[in-house]
A and B are shown apart, each in its own frame.
Chain A
Amino acid sequence: MLCVSFLCMESVRSERVLADMDGSALEFNRVSMVFPDGTEALQDVSFSVEPGEFVTIVGPSGCGKSTLLRIASGLLDPSSGSVEVDQERIGYVFQDATLMPWRTVQGNVELIPELHGYKKTERQALTKAVIDLVGLNGFEKHYPKSLSGGMKMRVSLARTLTLRPPVFLFDEPFGALDEINRERLNEETQELFKNEGFAGLFITHSIPEAVFMSTRVLVMSARPGQLVAEFDVPFKFPRKPGLRFDPQFAELSGKVSKALRGAYT
């Protein structure tokens, strides 16, 4: 376990022990973020993601959702509060696929084990497994410029999966895709979650996406972002595409939508 930027070192220890005891995969303790230019992005955010949970955060644009993920991953230190997570083993799927255009699909997926010093044969085994998993067999030698947006995202997912991180952060990864591709990737992500058993923290603007994939939906207010509502999503896994037309699904989506509308004001 590793902790990020605390106000004082004393509290670090005690909080760390606590976190170990309750075994959260990811825990935010009263995190606030004020940027050097004075922008208040997050205010007193506390929540946790337990192993086996897939938590989605929805909130108005600019409320601090990306900031939250950057803090969780250690790319950014919070102004106050703490985050507890095993940062060495975190998977982060960015809003853009961020593939390296000079590397093939294979090369892009191999990047992460490469950065961690795995040998070529190990890398190839890891890569093959995840390329199978996201259905990209046969495209190993293609360069990103010849892939569609949906396929690029799959490569990005595969790349993040290589080292099987127990915690996954997703920052609006499917926002740029068309409706159908987005739904497909929702179904596939949900399936990966079920089979791989990682803890997920997902950011999106789409309520159906949130309800379809998550075990829990959190609603964040406009800047400075605060958590204002929480909904448990009871549907069983694996979730079928038809779930989107279930009356219960519509009802829950409606509730989330109402809370989100409230969050804008």
Chain B
Amino acid sequence: MSEIPVPDHAMEEAVADVAEGASVATPAARRRITLVDVAGPTLIFAVSLGCWYWLSYFGMSENRRFLVPPLHEVVQEGFLDWTNFSIMLNALWLTTQVAFWGLGIAIVLGMTLAILMSQARWVERSAWPYAVALQSFPILALVPLIGIVFDYNFNARVLVCIIIAIFPIINNTLFGIQSVESGHHDLLTLHNASRWTRLWKLQLPAASPAIFAGFRISAGLSVVGAIVGDFFFRKGDKGIGILIDQYASRTTTLPRLYAATILAGALGYVVFSGFGFLTKAVTGKWHESSDIPG
């Protein structure tokens, strides 16, 4: 090994550069929770609550108040009454399982398809039109058919989720892989990288921000899919969608309808932000625009 004195200005410059880079790159400095982070959402929550109560007590006449019951009635009947609440939680659990299975299968299937498409033009040409067709198909029109064929069971619900959730995964994975910089491809070509090495060391890591964005979209969609499946089946085990459908049909259960709706919304939110955190954990350290609010 030859001994080469490093020009000292190299070091100077490097130190200066990093000192200046550090202010943008230190994760701790980047996300400190400020007053606005707490006060802003709290304010919006308070205003919404106010609107709700206003609508309930002043917007509705006495005899129509049951349509918009005040929040405390919803909480009391929906969340604090254990019989009601446990029914809802069971239903929510079923819906969660359906959504997760659907999402999981959509991820595995969608990524596999996209990777195959990215590796051979003919696969892409052959399969892409169907992916688009699936995306543009009015899924609601298909749900009753799936229900009949699969006998309204768990698998039928999962299938609805897959169909709804798979397209963003295929699309984002394929798009991510295809937007790899040509300079990076050249670098691997120069060193005779195999197709597998290229996929593993370049295409998938480069595509990962796009892939995770796809996961987040699909996560939300699969919750929608799970509830939509329920809605249309109206049969089989009770998911939160079936409960919502039932609660909506009687005036006495309207507070529970509100409670179930809130739960369904919370599920969607939790799943979506869960994937937000996952994205940060995987690409947060290096990706330029990884400041996705959790």
Contact yes or no, A184 B13, CB < 8 A: yes
Is B286 touching A102 in the complex (CB atoms < 8 A)?
A: yes
Interface centre among B2, B11, B181, B187 (most CB of A within 10 A): B187
If A100-B202, A135-B11, A146-B24 touch, does A192 touch B4 (CB 8 Å cutoff)? yes
Contact: B288 with A145, CB < 8 Å? yes
Interface contact B14-A139, CB-CB below 8 Å: yes
Q: Provide the main secondary structure of the chain B interface.
A: helix
Query: 8 pairs across A/B with beta carbons < 8 Å?
Result: A98-B183, A115-B201, A134-B6, A139-B18, A151-B17, A151-B18, A184-B10, A184-B13
Q: Return chain B residues, CB-CB under 8 Å to A138.
A: 14
- Residues of B within 8 Å of A135, CB to CB, are 6-7, 10-11, 14
3 nearest interchain CB pairs?
A135-B10, A146-B25, A98-B183
A27 to chain B, nearest CB (A): 19
| Contact segment of B143-151, B188-196, B228-236, B268-276 | B188-196
Residues 84-133 of A at the B interface (beta carbon under 8 Å): 90, 92, 94, 96, 98, 100-103, 111-112, 114-116, 129, 132-133
The answer for the CA separation of A111 and B187 in the assembled complex, in Å, is 10
A212 to chain B minimum Cβ distance, whole angstroms, is 14
Task: Tell me the residues in window 17-63 of chain B with beta carbons closer than 8 Å to chain A beta carbons.
Answer: 17-18, 20-22, 24-25
A98 touches B17 (CB 8 A): no
Q: Is A11 an interface residue, CB under 8 A from the partner?
A: no
Q: A98-B184, A100-B205, A135-B11 are in contact. Are A147 and B190 (CB under 8 A)?
A: no
Chain A residues packing against B (C-beta within 8 Å): 73-75, 90, 92, 94, 96, 98, 100-103, 111-112, 114-116, 129, 132-139, 142-148, 150-151, 154, 181, 184, 187-188, 191-192, 195-196
Task: Please determine whether B18 and A115 come into contact, CB atoms closer than 8 angstroms.
Answer: no
B1 at the interface (CB under 8 A from A): yes
Of A102, A111, A138, most buried by chain B (CB within 10 Å of CB) is A102
- From A75, A102, A129, A148, give the contact of B1 (CB < 8 A): A129
Distance A114 CA – B181 CA, assembled complex (angstroms): 20
Interface size class for chain B?
A: 35 or more
Contacts of B193 in A (CB 8 A): 115
Residues on B with C-beta less than 8 A from A147 are 17-18, 21
Residues from chain B with Cβ under 8 Å of A191 in the complex: 4, 7
Could you say which residues of chain B place their CB within 8 Å of the CB of A132?
6
Interchain CB contact under 8 A, A115 and B4: no
Mask, B198-209, CB within 8 Å of A = 1, is 000110011010
Once bound together, how far apart are the Cα atoms of A221 and B22, in whole Å?
Answer: 45
Given B25, B186, B192, B288, which contacts A101 in the complex, CB threshold below 8 Å?
Answer: B288
Complex contact B205–A102 (CB within 8 A):
yes
Contact status A143-B2, CB under 8 Å? no
B162 to chain A, nearest CB (A): 29
- Which residue in chain B gives the minimum CB-CB distance to A98? B183
From known contacts A129-B1, A184-B7, infer whether A101 and B181 are also in contact, taking CB-CB under 8 Å. Answer: no
Please give 19 more A-B residue pairs, beta carbons under 8 A apart, in addition to A90-B190, A98-B187, A148-B17.
A92-B186, A92-B187, A101-B286, A101-B287, A102-B208, A102-B286, A103-B286, A114-B201, A115-B191, A135-B14, A142-B18, A142-B25, A143-B25, A143-B286, A146-B25, A151-B18, A184-B9, A187-B7, A196-B2
B6-A133 in contact (CB<8A): yes
CB contacts (< 8 Å) of A137 on chain B: these are 11
Question: Is B86 in the interface zone, CB < 8 Å from A?
Answer: no
Q: Which of B255-294 contact A (CB under 8 A)?
A: 283, 285-288
**A151 x B14 contact (CB < 8 A):** yes
Q: Using Cβ atoms and an 8 Å threshold, which residues of chain B touch A139? A: 14, 18
With contacts A98-B183, A133-B6 taken as known, whether A146 is within 8 angstroms of B18 at the C-beta atoms is: yes
Tell whether A98 pairs with B181 under 8 Å between CB atoms, given A116-B191, A133-B6, A135-B14: yes
Q: Tell me how far the C-beta of B190 lies from the nearest C-beta in chain A, rounded to whole angstroms.
A: 6
Pairwise interchain contact A100-B184, C-beta atoms closer than 8 A? yes
A175 CA to B183 CA in the complex, in Å? Answer: 16
B181 CB, min distance to chain A CBs, angstroms:
7
Q: How far is the CA of A60 from the CA of B20 in the complex (A)?
A: 36
State the Cβ distance, A165 to closest chain B Cβ, in Å: 10
Q: For the complex, give the distance between the alpha carbons of A134 and B288 in Å.
A: 25
How far, in angstroms, from A37 to B187 measured CA to CA in the complex?
25
